Chain A
Amino acid sequence: MVGVSYQRFPTVKIREMKDEYMKFELRDTDASIANALRRVMIAEVPTIAIDLVEIMSNSSVLNDEFISHRLGLIPLVSKKAMEMRFSRDCDACDGDGQCQYCSVEFCLNVRCEGDQTLDVTSGDLRSFDPMVMPVDANIGKDFDEDSVDPSIQKKSGIIIVKLRRGQELNLRAIARKGIGKDHAKWSPAATVTFMYQPEIHINEQLMETLTLDEKEDWVESSPTKVFDIDPKTHQVVVVDPEAYTYDDEVIKKSEAIGKPGLVEIYPLEDSFIFTVESTGVISAYQLVINALEILKQKLDAVRLSDDAQENDEQFGELRQHLGGVL
């Protein structure tokens, strides 16, 4: 039995890749792998988010826990997250969760002195680690200082609270590594979806028994633009198979006009089209790579321990000795 393998060799084709968005084809595997990948991307790829807030003073209109909750939801650049430790299994701080291996400290100290309302944003968070900052931290710097419109010159970032004259907010926050399964604030995924690639076969012979009006009617019966009519040959053609939502409308239409079997559509069960959007804490590409790594680690964790295997081997010998009694 040694050397036997039922391994598959999936293939990948990236159609589009931007920082926070990616579309790719995954082939020669099954839905269980596609779905495991999707689930891990959403709930198990680690990121960094604020998890502990110590408020020194808060005279704003929002209460302390309201502000703490908002701080938790601010996306922080999480390139470091895979190498970081979870606070709960960090031995450098005995699970205290405040050492350099498992946490990043932030502080925020703002006071409104003027008559104008002051916006406190994620840009006011000062990080003790230059690798871990609010995701939009550098957006403000891109603006031209001499920009004519003063409203554009205003600092950007995610608004946390607004202060009026005399109000202040002074706090210390600890960001930690976590996963979306624990709390959605740690999820790096905005949306991750996959669909089966559809295979569409038009019965040309049967289709040609339709008049042009009937063809137009049939093409229109699909809620999404999957088919069209060639203006020259008046033939029905598939223009965008992936626009098909498995709604069965064209199939029902075929039956309704007494021409069942006009078109055959079935999902290719080993081909998937993925759409991945990240929240910006890591790139969409890194999200997929990290998900594969995490899934591998999960599999390694469910391997049987050696002692369990030895016990079973002894049991097997015992069974042989007893010769079929068991």
Chain B
Amino acid sequence: MNAPDRYERFVVPEGTKKVSYERDTKIINAASFIIEREDHTIGNILRMQLHRDPNTLFAGYKLPHPLQYKIIVRIHTASQSSPMQAYNQAINDLDKELEHLKKVFQAEKIRIENISL
């Protein structure tokens, strides 16, 4: 009767931002990114990609509560970079990796089909 709609898990409510950015008030170059309607799928790949960036001093994510459909990604960088720069860089790199993976997969499929012919 009072169960929340199933789509609430993945549809961003109207008037809510998908990503909001909150700069840390005490530490320079530290910030939190609150990402609505995402989970470990995005949180973990972002975190691991940020760890590849030597300017990132800290990167972590949490899913605050299983019924709050959002994740919080916290980034702390060295002074040469900024959390926003690191965040954008991580997304760009992941995007390129997935694009590469797609191409590699398509090429591999063609290779496999030629062998079996």
Contacts and interface: CB of A to CB of B under 8 A. Distances in A.
A binds B: yes
Interface of A: 1, 4-14, 17, 24, 29-30, 32-33, 35-36, 39-40, 44, 88, 179, 181-183, 285, 288-289, 292-293, 295-296, 298-305, 308-309, 312, 315-316, 326
A304 B21 contact: yes
A4 B92 CA distance: 11
Interface of B: 6-7, 9-11, 17-21, 23, 28, 33, 35, 38, 40-42, 44-49, 52-53, 80-82, 84-85, 87-89, 91-102, 104-106, 108-109, 111-112
B41 A44 contact: yes
A301 B17 CA distance: 11
A176 to B, nearest CB: 12
Given A6-B93, A298-B41, A292 B6 contact: no
A292 B101 contact: yes
Interface of B is mostly: helix
B98 to A, nearest CB: 5
Given A13-B108, A302-B38, 16 more contacts: A1-B81, A5-B92, A8-B97, A14-B108, A14-B112, A32-B49, A35-B44, A36-B44, A182-B7, A288-B105, A289-B105, A289-B106, A293-B102, A295-B41, A302-B19, A303-B88
A40 B32 CA distance: 25
A309 B84 contact: yes
B77 to A, nearest CB: 11
Contacts of B9: 181-182
B38 A298 contact: yes
